[in-house]
Amino acid sequence: MSLVISSSLSLSKIRPFCTVHHGENEDRDILRERMTRDEYQTVSMEEGNEDLCLTQGLLSKDNQDNALQNISSSHLEKHIPFNNGASFSQTFLNLINVVSGVGVLSMPYAVAQGGWLSLVIFLLVGLLCYYTGILIQRCMRAHPSIHSYPDIGRYAFGPTGQNIIAAFMYIELYLVAISFLILEGDNLDKLFPGSKVEFYSVTLEGKKLFILLAAFIILPTTWLRDLAVLAYVSAIGLVASVVLTGSLVWACIADAGIQQTKGDMLNLQGLPTALGLYFVCFTGHAVFPTIYSSMRNKNQFSKVLFISTILCTLNYGLTAVLGYLIYGNEVQSQVTLNLPSDKIYTKIAIYTTLINPLAKYALLIAPITSAIEERISVIVKSSTSLVIRTLILLSTVVLASSIPFFGYLMSFIGSFLSVMATVLFPCVCYLKIYGSFRAVSAELVAILFILIIGVLVAVMGTYTSLQQIIGSL
């Protein structure tokens, strides 16, 4: 999974409705009649010599529609800055960057866990995730007040729905940040084996040393408020996926060849782990609403999503097949760890892969730190803010050093958190918003079937991955 999140994004802070007034008390009174005292917030701005008043509030669905009709269109045209939005190609690159991430490293390992036939399940997971992406698009169309994933939860189930979805997103972001540090430690230890640092009576070596070193490099980026530069750098995730696949092709042709062992056709015991890793590859639904809202032509979202899903599936599948053919059941949780250390393509693959987490770490924890700072009313530029961000980083360092099992952690993220965000939440919110559960239809049957699969994967995969993590401690 690969996420690009602006530092200004706070998942707990939604903007359910925005109307613009300019000097007409009648319009303001109409809106306030439709709001309770605690459900609106007025922000005044100065635009030239005129006062611009933005009123944000949560209205009922019926009153939102009425309020829209009561506001003069001339006011909207005069004060809302229209922009062209993201083009088809820009949206395509955004989606590719979101979906393409470190999950590609574990694809050969996933096939080794589930067997060759699990690739059929992998294709079904891709199809399922595409369909739930379409459900998110439909939820976004339900009302213009919806701009983010937590907005969908609030529109469907009120504040409780918003808080639940936001909480799962925070936890997923936090665990992915931990997996990034594990990734850095494992691969740097491969490039520089036997490294050790002694400081008085304390000795740091191997993966723990490089996890701490990566954290020191990342730390200044977590203090930044403007993460726009890192957002551009994090687009290297797409390049890293392609470079990794190219490195495996190079290894297959030039050096390693293909293993004589055919591998397992199906391994039921390892299938839950494989399923969790497959879901990690396609998770990105948390930012689909943001990408959808930024589009110039929102009707093209399904087409862009389809093309990006197909291309990512091909890249993931090719990496999985090549990695398993070359290394067989000896493939590690990160296929880069199998590449020969002295080869130039190994260094290219690993260095390209390592840049991605270094750039994206700060982007991942930005919503978490912003939510904490808002909750305790921390002044943005205060030293307390720096302390909070540093402590969050240190907590991930401690956990990454304690649970250095990349494959198991990614399987847990996929089985529990990614299944929730990718399968369960879109289906449940869609049924609630559109009332599709009230009448039996083919769509209802399909969604219920997807929900059953999602629950089974979440339960079995979570149990298996936690069992593996605990057993390896």
Give me the tens of pLDDT residue by residue for the chain, a chain 473 residues long: 444 433 333 343 333 333 334 444 444 443 443 443 334 333 333 333 333 333 333 344 444 444 433 333 333 333 333 356 788 888 888 788 777 777 888 999 999 999 999 999 999 999 999 999 999 999 999 998 898 899 999 999 999 999 999 999 889 889 888 888 988 898 888 888 888 888 777 888 888 999 999 999 999 988 887 666 666 666 676 777 788 788 888 877 776 566 656 778 999 999 998 998 999 888 888 889 888 988 889 999 999 999 999 999 999 999 999 899 888 888 998 888 888 888 888 888 888 878 878 878 887 888 888 888 888 876 656 788 888 999 999 999 999 988 767 778 888 888 888 899 999 999 999 999 998 667 778 889 999 999 999 999 899 888 888 888 788 76
Residue 139, C-beta contacts closer than 8 angstroms, at least 6 positions apart: 146, 152, 155, 156, 426, 429, 430, 433
pLDDT value at residue 68: 37
Residue 148, pLDDT score: 86
Q: Are 75 and 20 in contact (CB under 8 A)?
A: yes
What gap in Å lies between CA 67 and CA 276, rounded to an integer? 45
pLDDT in the model for residue 223: 87
Sheet holding 18-21, edge to edge: 18-21, 50-57, 40-47
**Residues 313-335: b if buried by 16+ CB within 10 A, e if exposed:** bebbbebbbbbbbbbbeebbbbb
Inter-axis angle of helices 344-375 and 383-402, to 10 degrees? 130
| CATH code at 88-472 | 1.20.1740.10
Alpha helices, DSSP H, located in 142-257: 149-191, 206-223, 228-233, 236-254
Measured in degrees and rounded to the nearest 5, phi and psi for residue 382 equal: -80, 165
Cβ contact 46:52 at 8 Å: yes
Cβ-contact 324, 263 below 8 angstroms: yes
Overall residue count recorded for the chain in this entry: 473
Task: Assign residue 101 a region (left: φ > 0; alpha: ψ between -120 and 50; beta: otherwise).
Answer: beta
Tell the burial category of 410 from Cβ atoms under 10 Å away from its Cβ (0-12, 13-18, 19+).
buried
Tokens standing for residue 436: 């599709």
pLDDT of res. 36: 37
Half-sphere exposure of 250 (CA within 13 A, CB side): 16
CB burial class (10 A; 0-12, 13-18, 19+) of residue 158? exposed
pLDDT of residue 67: 40
Secondary structure letter of residue 298 according to DSSP: G
Distance separating alpha carbons of residues 155 and 143, to the nearest angstrom: 9
How many Cα neighbours within 13 Å face the side chain of 406? 25
Looking at residue 465, its pLDDT comes to: 84
Residue 68 · residue 77 · CB < 8 Å: no
**Tokens coding 220:** 């200044």
* Cα separation, 61 vs 145, whole angstroms: 9
CB count in 10 Å sphere of residue 181: 26
For the chain, what is the total number of helices (H) and then of strands (E)? 19, 5
The sign one gets for the Cα dihedral 18, 20, 21, 22 is positive
The whole-angstrom separation of Cα 64 and Cα 70 is: 10
- CA dist 60 and 166 (Å) reads 21
Burial of 141 (0-12, 13-18, 19+ CB in 10 A): middle
pTM for this entry: 0.74
Q: Give the residue from 405, 97, 136, 402 showing the smallest Cα distance to 276.
A: 405
List the end-to-end C-alpha distance of the chain, in Å, as a whole number.
25
